[in-house]
Amino acid sequence: MPSTSEPLAGSWPGSVLDVVPVLPVVVAHTAQEGVDIARALVAGGLPAIELTLRTEAALDAIRAIASEVPEILVGAGTITRPGQAKLAADAGARFLVSPGTTGSLLHAMQDSGLPFLPGVATLSEVLAALDAGCTELKLFPAEASGGTAFLTAVAGPVPQARFCPTGGITAASASSYLALPNVGCVGGSWLTPADAVASGDWPRITALAAAAAALCR
Ligand code: 3PG
């Protein structure tokens, strides 16, 4: 686990799966909200954030986090259109995550030059991603796609694929995923409950992050 007191830029291992046990999946409605959330996560010992491109402010939030919270590794999530990959990279994203994968999305993420986690939900999609040279993948939606049973089954035919399962995972279920050899980290939105964000309850987010940071892989 990298130190939380030093900027990760330039020093992180390059594998999104190996930075934190839980990758916070975050929605920010303003750039300042993104910065406040990032600071709360770092204070709890989670120096990585997947800022989803689901709000008008998302790219500004990525830009602000990259400049004002350099100790966190900021990535862009919910990449669903090819053009978003370059926009996110230009805003300062250090990695990209897509919920699913198409040929054009894959090419755009490859062209960005950033590490990325293409989304998969079936074994055929895992095989297609491996064929394209991607061994680190987002399983989404994890619970609805079979959860830990799916991941255990996949490890037989394709042990080289490693996953960040996301979607329906909770503080209670995260450990069962992290115990699997083909899981590097899990993703989840439970660290940033909407009511905590709306009320600016950053200590609550820091406490949730601290509990998640203590989970063992
Ligand atoms: C994602 O985009 O990865 C999901 O919306 C996160 O899923 P969760 O809200 O069930 O954690």
* Domains annotated on the chain, with CATH: 17-213 (3.20.20.70)
Beta-carbon count within 10 A of 152 CB? 13
Question: 137 CA to middle of ligand 1, Å?
Answer: 15
Question: Per-residue pLDDT averaged across 134-163, rounded?
Answer: 97
Question: Per-residue pLDDT averaged across 135-139, rounded?
Answer: 97
Amino acid at site 70:
P
Counting Cβ atoms within 10 Å, is residue 84 exposed (0-12), middle (13-18) or buried (19+)?
buried
Question: Per-residue pLDDT averaged across 68-85, rounded?
Answer: 97
Q: Whole-number mean pLDDT of the chain?
A: 94
Ligand 1, residue 190: give the atom nearest the CA. 11
pTM of the predicted structure, to 2 decimals: 0.93
Examine the pLDDT at 5 and tell me if it is beyond 50.
no
- What pLDDT was estimated at residue 11? 55
Summarised one tens digit per residue, pLDDT across range 50-64 is: 999 999 999 999 999
Summarised one tens digit per residue, pLDDT across range 16-37 is: 899 999 999 999 999 999 999 9
- What pLDDT was estimated at residue 210? 97
Chain centre to alpha carbon of residue 210: 17
C-alpha to C-alpha distance for 118 and 215, rounded to whole angstroms: 24
Ligand 1 pocket (Cβ < 6 Å) reads 25, 52, 77-78, 99, 140, 166-169, 187-189
Q: Whose CA is nearest to atom 8 of ligand 1?
A: 167
- What pLDDT was estimated at residue 216? 80
Alpha carbon separation from 109 to 26, 103, 147 (Å, rounded)? 20, 10, 26
Examine the pLDDT at 138 and tell me if it is beyond 70.
yes
Summarised one tens digit per residue, pLDDT across range 169-188 is: 999 999 999 999 999 999 99
Positions marked active-site: 50, 138
